Amino acid sequence: MTERFTGSFTQQEPIPEAGIAAALAVLQSGRLHRYNLAPGEIGETALLEEEFAAFTGARYCLAVASGGYAMATALRAVGVGPGDRVLSNAFTLAPVPGAIASVGAQPVFVGVTEDLTIDLRDLAAKADEADVLLLSHMRGHICDMDRLMEVCGDAGIRVIEDCAHTMGASWRGVASGRHGAIGCYSCQTYKHVNSGEGGLLVTDDADLAARAIMLSGSYMLYDRHRAAPPPEAFERIKYHTPNISGRMDNLRAAILRPQLADLAKQVDRWNARYRALEDGLRGTPGLTLIPRPDAESFVGSSFQFLLLDWTGDSVTEVLDRCERRGVELKWFGAPEPLAFTSRYDSWRYADAPAMPESDRILAGILDMRVPLTFSLQDCALIARIIRAEVGTVYQAGAVRSA
Ligand SMILES: *Cc1c(COP(=O)(O)O)cnc(C)c1O
């Protein structure tokens, strides 16, 4: 009998009861806007910022409307403007180059390695082309951050981290988002906490924090923040920083706070699922697993593997065969962007020279989401299906001749 998987790759868990109760209380109060507070009240948004700052070990935190908005705000706060160039990953998702384009700047793409992290040799080679790097920890794979910070430090490059897939992860014990000048996170439904839309930004730099808070649309109400720098930091910039509204509201913050409190437990559950997939796929001929370095503590909320040097037709055949058995894989190498997958050359507003070494890797990346609604048995079943279908196609001769 041929096994089939019948679960949904896009079904998340419900919002925890405590989040639903807190959200109802906000709705009953009518005070959804973060600065709309009863006398003596501390709003949910300010509390979320305080708790997220503590969670990451950052001095300052700002909650905003989306992860993309957090990145654009970070770029503005460090002074990126029209015509500037910003280094970023060739392997990432559309909101990352989109954030760069939103401030009128141009992305300069840096290659990807077989470990699915930024190519540090390519970064060093391009280091004189820009003075800001928007580093995407794409799909939760963290590069050697010690080496990256050394390369950027030597070249005078400021680092902004896109931690959409690394909330709760760390490198050598330092939370992801805490190596660079600013860390940006997403609270969108498919990330590690779910308020539909939402974002967070952390930094230890008082000037950057004050600018980000003003940019997000705080009017002159910055004293209602708790994870913010002292008033002097605002005095210096308040007449020169435009209001580009993108605040978070109390309803979303109320939903997020109990999820943040649960995150460590959720990370363990994600990683158990990730390991079940990895165990089930290990040793599959033609399939390359992505190594996870000891220094990296990750969140296995999605799973990638490589079908390296396979022909496009053979990859497509694996996708089709898996799909017929209920397993939805996404292919980053597809010539046309589909759903959330896209290649750097599909962002045509950016002038991107060809990157043959990265193209070879992108052409082999297969990806799937791992929602927590999957059981460990589901993950073992998904791995058996992929293993069987990759095996069948591989045996028929899937690899491109050199
Ligand atoms: C989701 C995502 C973002 C941005 O998140 P939004 O909240 O959807 O704007 C940024 N980077 C990556 C890699 C993402 O997957």
For position 315, which CATH number holds? 3.90.1150.10
Query: Tokens standing for 194?
Result: 């779910």
pLDDT score for 306: 98
Residue 399: per-residue pLDDT: 80
Helices (H), 195-244: 206-215, 231-235
Task: Please tell me the distance from the alpha carbon of residue 288 to that of residue 5, in angstroms, as a whole number.
Answer: 23
93 in contact with ligand 1, CB cutoff 6 A:
yes
Q: Which numbered atom of ligand 1 lies nearest the CA of 186?
A: 7
Question: Would you say residue 4 lies in a domain?
Answer: no
Helix, strand, or coil here: 47? helix
Residues 219 and 282 in one domain: no
* Binding site membership of 246 for ligand 1 (Cβ less than 6 Å): no
Same-domain check for residues 226 and 300: no
Ligand 1 near 65 CB (within 6 A): no
Residue pair 159/135 in contact by the 8 Å Cβ criterion: yes
Indicate if 205 and 302 belong to the same structural domain.
no
Biggest CA-to-CA distance, the chain: 72
Boundary (domain end) residue, out of 261, 288, 319? 261
Cβ of 136 closer than 6 Å to ligand 1, yes or no, is yes
3-state secondary structure of 174: strand
Tell me the CATH number at 206.
3.40.640.10
Q: What is the pTM of this model?
A: 0.97
Give the total residue count for the chain.
Answer: 402
* Same-domain status, 162 and 268: no
Q: Are 45 and 246 in contact (CB under 8 A)?
A: no
Q: What pLDDT, on the 0 to 100 scale, is given for residue 388? A: 98
DSSP 3-state of 91:
coil
Are residues 195 and 70 located together in one domain of the fold? yes
* Local mean pLDDT, 10-residue blocks, the chain (402 residues): 92 97 98 97 98 98 98 98 98 96 98 98 98 98 98 98 98 98 97 98 98 96 96 95 98 98 98 98 97 98 97 95 97 77 84 92 95 98 98 88 53
In-domain check, residue 402? no
Measured CA distances, 122 to 88, 199, 293, 320 (Å):
11, 30, 20, 34
Centre of ligand 1 to C-alpha 186, Å, is 6
Query: What pLDDT score does 264 carry?
Result: 97
| pLDDT given at position 401 | 58
Same domain membership, residue 247 and residue 331 = no
Q: Is 80 exposed, middle or buried (0-12, 13-18, 19+ CB in 10 A)?
A: buried
Listed in sequence order, the residues at least 6 apart from 18 whose beta carbon sits closer than 8 Å to its beta carbon are 258
Same domain, 296 and 238: no
Mutation pick for ligand 1 pocket among 135, 139, 163, 186 (CB with most ligand atoms within 8 Å): 186
On whether both 256 and 318 belong to a single domain, the answer is no
Q: If you search the block for the tokens 């040097």, which residue do you land on? A: 309
Strands of the 106-110 sheet, one edge to the other: 60-64, 199-203, 182-186, 158-162, 132-136, 85-89, 106-110
Final residue of a domain: which of 229, 261, 293? 261
Q: Is 66 in the pocket of ligand 1 (CB under 6 A)?
A: yes
Q: For residue 288, is it within any domain?
A: yes
The ligand 1 atom nearest the CA atom of 93: 13
Count of domains for the chain: 2
CA distances from 187 to 208, 341, 358, 366 (A): 21, 19, 29, 24
Q: Which domain holds residue 141?
A: 17-261
Q: Are residues 301 and 269 in the same domain?
A: yes
